[in-house]
């Protein structure tokens, strides 16, 4: 088969990637799942036509979404990942030996199975014996865990798909109730170039629920606009600073995250800061 091009298009922006082979195309109960072999970026996963990851740059997103909240907590023991069926956040969280509980709540079991088949270097996060998988709606699952978790990470799809309830105010209030004292959340919070209204809304909702809030920028070349963000919140005075240093043995395994970029990611450009005023 000759090479062809696959385009993700949203809100006036697009990202076009050259692919050499379609490896998987199916529809689950919740969404369309596609996997392609690309010419330059390794394998690529799309859900409902939206790029979720490529093997080329997934480390940037997964490292930042996992390590920022985990290092913003002084001593995390219990983690919940909502969404994140590809396993990348679990893989990064598993590098924290202090964690005792690593729950993941994913609504679509077929995303997990697809990741395990086609992305073993990402889905290896499931191999950690601390991981417990719950196939459920995260917005409902979290209601049954009051005061239980230290860190909650929401690796959701965009708000138009099955992840829509994860962008609502009630979900953020339910996350707050599910945290132990000193708990931290981090949620996939879109790009200020692509969806500034969503970025603004998530920040404002977090500001109403938590004492400290920040928006951390992450550079991911294969996402439209080349950037995405995480809304990080908790009841620490300074959520944007690491609460503890990165151990040298962990730092040697990381390609994107470090203590300085943890802080720098929260230095927002003026047009983004104005969204939060």
Residue 155 annotated as part of some ligand binding site? yes
Q: Find all residues with CB under 8 Å of 80, minimum gap 6, and list them.
A: 103, 104, 105, 142, 145, 149, 151, 152, 153, 178
Residue 174 annotated as part of some ligand binding site? no
Residue 158 annotated as part of some ligand binding site? yes
Residue 182 annotated as part of some ligand binding site? no
Residue 147 annotated as part of some ligand binding site? no
Query: For residue 26, how many other CB atoms are within 10 A of its CB?
Result: 11
Q: What is the spatial distance between Cα 265 and Cα 224, in angstroms, rounded to a whole number?
A: 19
Would you call 235 a catalytic residue per the annotation?
Answer: no
Residue 106 annotated as part of some ligand binding site? yes
Query: For residue 194, how many other CB atoms are within 10 A of its CB?
Result: 18
* 46 dihedral zone (left: phi>0; alpha: psi -120 to 50; beta): beta
Q: Which residue has the tokens 């893989």?
A: 91
Residue 92 annotated as part of some ligand binding site? no
Q: Which two tokens stand for residue 150?
A: 């230290």
Spot the catalytic one: 34, 57, 103, 155.
155
Residue 127 annotated as part of some ligand binding site? no
DSSP 3-68: -EEEEEEETTEEEEEEEEEEEEEEE-SS-EEEEEEESSS-EEEEETTEEEEETTTHHHHHHHHHHH
Residue 31 annotated as part of some ligand binding site? yes
DSSP assignment letter at 87: S
Residue 156 annotated as part of some ligand binding site? yes
Query: For residue 185, how many other CB atoms are within 10 A of its CB?
Result: 28
Residue 157 annotated as part of some ligand binding site? yes
Q: What is the spatial distance between Cα 106 and Cα 104, in angstroms, rounded to a whole number?
A: 6
Q: Which residue has the tokens 């994107």?
A: 256
Annotated binding site for S-methyl-5'-thioadenosine: 31, 106, 137-138, 162
Annotated binding site for spermidine: 62, 86, 155-158
Catalytic residues: 155
């Amino acid at each position: 088969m000759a090479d062809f091009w696959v385009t993700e298009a949203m809100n006036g922006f697009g990202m076009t990637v050259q692919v050499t082979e379609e490896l998987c195309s199916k529809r689950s109960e919740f969404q369309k799942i596609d996997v392609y072999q690309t010419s330059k970026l390794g394998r690529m996963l799309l859900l409902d036509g939206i790029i979720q990851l490529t093997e080329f740059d997934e480390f940037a997103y997964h490292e930042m979404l996992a390590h920022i909240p985990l290092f913003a907590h002084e001593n995390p023991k219990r983690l919940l990942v909502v969404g994140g069926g590809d396993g990348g956040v679990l893989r990064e969280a598993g590098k924290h030996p202090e964690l005792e509980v690593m729950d993941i709540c994913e609504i679509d079991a077929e995303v997990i199975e697809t990741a395990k088949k086609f992305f073993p270097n990402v889905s290896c996060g499931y191999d950690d014996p601390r991981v417990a998988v719950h196939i459920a709606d995260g917005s409902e699952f979290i209601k049954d865990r009051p005061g239980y978790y230290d860190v909650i990470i929401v690796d959701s799809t965009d708000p138009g798909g099955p992840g829509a309830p994860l962008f609502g105010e009630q979900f953020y209030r339910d996350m707050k109730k599910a945290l132990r004292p000193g708990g931290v959340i981090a949620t996939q919070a879109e790009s200020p170039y692509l969806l500034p209204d969503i970025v603004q809304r998530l920040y404002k909702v977090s500001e109403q629920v938590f004492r400290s809030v920040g928006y951390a920028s992450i550079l991911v070349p294969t996402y439209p606009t080349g950037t995405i963000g995480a809304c990080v919140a908790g009841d620490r005075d300074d959520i944007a600073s690491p609460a503890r240093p990165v151990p040298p043995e962990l730092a040697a395994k990381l390609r994107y995250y470090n203590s300085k970029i943890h802080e720098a990611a929260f230095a927002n450009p003026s047009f983004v800061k104005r969204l939060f005023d």
